[in-house]
Structure 1
């Protein structure tokens, strides 16, 4: 009878559950013990947009939210990369691969976000660009952390963040620690692959210098992937991450070029030329160099260089 009355009122009955079973959950939600908004701290998140243009400009909200959401995804990427680095250090490769798979999805999301910002026309951006003053994405410490974690080390970046002691110290620690690539090479060495000692023990704060013997070690892995499957899979996961990063950089360049053309960046960079130079940077150089060493398999077992 209860169900008949509910049906007469038009209330849907959840499939596989009775209303009586759901009532305790409903009461707990409505009691205010921990609401959805409280759990996500939405009052702070949704009140963190403060357009600066005078008079107000409609499109500034897009610009602010685009960059705030990017910073949230970067925060998650840092979280996942730090975990992956620790797992590789602990020789726990399968969950490390899971972390990197998530990083790749985050990268896809970040790349797709450029299409939203690209709806901002040059005329619309010009209406509020001066409100940014000297603010620039170049000053994103989370982006810089991602670069350091992946291995693009540059001590000259630290002075940019000297105004924030806590951020500066955290970046310094990340700069001076092994990157993901450093940990992968150390793991390969522990697995018996001939990674040279000068690569395994060096100044981690300095940019990585490609080494021919690392290419040799990787060539052995790629020559017999089924024999070295874990190493092979991890190497390819790194290539995926780098490829995604380069796609993100390219979309960044094209979006900036579309909106401001050849103007310099608000933070003092050269703008598009600066972003174009970034496309030449690589995190895992030998993983690309080794591709020219992989030989074709010919009928009859002959291995020869590709034509």
Structure 2
């Protein structure tokens, strides 16, 4: 028996006027936020899977934003910790697909109609993560036009450098020639790959002991994208397992659309430098 199991051993048992565990976590809000629209047993699984994923994404956004600031201020050690946490968050998100895959196609069809036109590609937090990382696909602002506060938040992200932009600016501060990237100021558009940036990363990877901090930053970014790619792949696999090649509820081509997303590279030169070495 632990001390908390026995009121006589000092555990707080009276919470009138005091903050309890449920108060601190606002569990009354969290645990009443699930409102299935059908009587299907598996709809609660579907809702909780996506709500918890959004909570993890909220934390990922917090960590990526903080990492961007830390890199900008040349505080690389804290940035490494934050980026490691982001990778672990996506590892957690990957594990969540395993739970959702316990739902069979016939079980999903029992409540799929209740979703209307709602779809995961409309997640503004997912869009925020892509924008923060550097994939600034501006047409994807459109699904959020009915929410001015969401558009404002995404536009605020687009107005500043992405995570990868800050890594490249750090390269420039360290004396590397990254060409036109050093003078870029229009952050809204997704940047194009650069041979000079590739050569700069190649120099870092050819002498990691000399450029250890930059080398470690590069590997932290690759680690993040590695888990992010796995999350995308698991998403495709889960969708195909449950709905096959049907169109998505949001009107996309479903699996075909998700497969195209697998081709997107967040940090392209960091992947191509492996071939160049």
Q: What TM-score bracket applies, with the shorter chain setting the length?
A: over 0.9
2:22 maps to which of 37, 55, 64: 37
Answer yes or no: is 1:266 the counterpart of 2:236: no
2:263 maps to which of 263, 275, 280: 280
Q: Which runs of 5+ in 2 are unaligned?
A: none
2:172–2:182: 8 Å Cα contact kept in structure 1? Answer: no
Instruction: Name the TM-score, length of structure 2 as normaliser.
Output: 0.95
2:118–2:250: 8 Å Cα contact kept in structure 1? Answer: yes
1:50 is aligned to 35
Q: Deviation per CA, 1:221-278: give whole Å up to 9, x if none.
A: 0110000000000001000111111100000000000000010000010000000000
1:253–1:276: 8 Å Cα contact kept in structure 2? Answer: yes
Secondary structure at the aligned position of 1:26 is classed as: coil
Question: What displacement does 1:208 show?
Answer: 1.4
2:203 maps to which of 220, 230, 237: 220
2:72 is aligned to 89
The within-5 A match list for 1:221-240 is 221-240=204-223
Which range moves more in the overlay, 88-97 or 191-200? 191-200
Instruction: Name the TM-score, length of structure 1 as normaliser.
Output: 0.86
Distance between the aligned counterparts of 1:116 and 1:13, measured in 2?
A: 32
1:182–1:200: 8 Å Cα contact kept in structure 2? Answer: no
Distance between the aligned counterparts of 2:142 and 2:21, measured in 1?
A: 40
Q: Which has the higher contact order (CA 8 A, sep 6+)?
A: 2
Q: Deviation per CA, 1:21-71: give whole Å up to 9, x if none.
A: x63x626x6344100000000001000001112xx1111000000000000
1:26 is aligned to 12
Answer yes or no: is 1:209 the counterpart of 2:192: yes
Q: Which runs of 5+ in 1 are unaligned?
A: 1-11, 295-307
2:236 is aligned to 253
What is the root-mean-square deviation of aligned Cα atoms in Å? 1.8
1:303 is aligned to none
1:195–1:217: 8 Å Cα contact kept in structure 2? Answer: yes
How many residues are aligned here?
276
Question: What displacement does 1:199 show?
Answer: 4.9
Question: What displacement does 1:13 show?
Answer: 6.6
Q: Rg: which structure is higher? A: 1
Q: Deviation per CA, 1:96-152: give whole Å up to 9, x if none.
A: 000001111101000010011001110000010000000001110000000000000
Secondary structure at the aligned position of 2:274 is classed as: helix
In the superposition, relative to structure 1, how do residues 200 and 180 fare at CA in structure 2: closer, same or farther (>3 Å)? farther
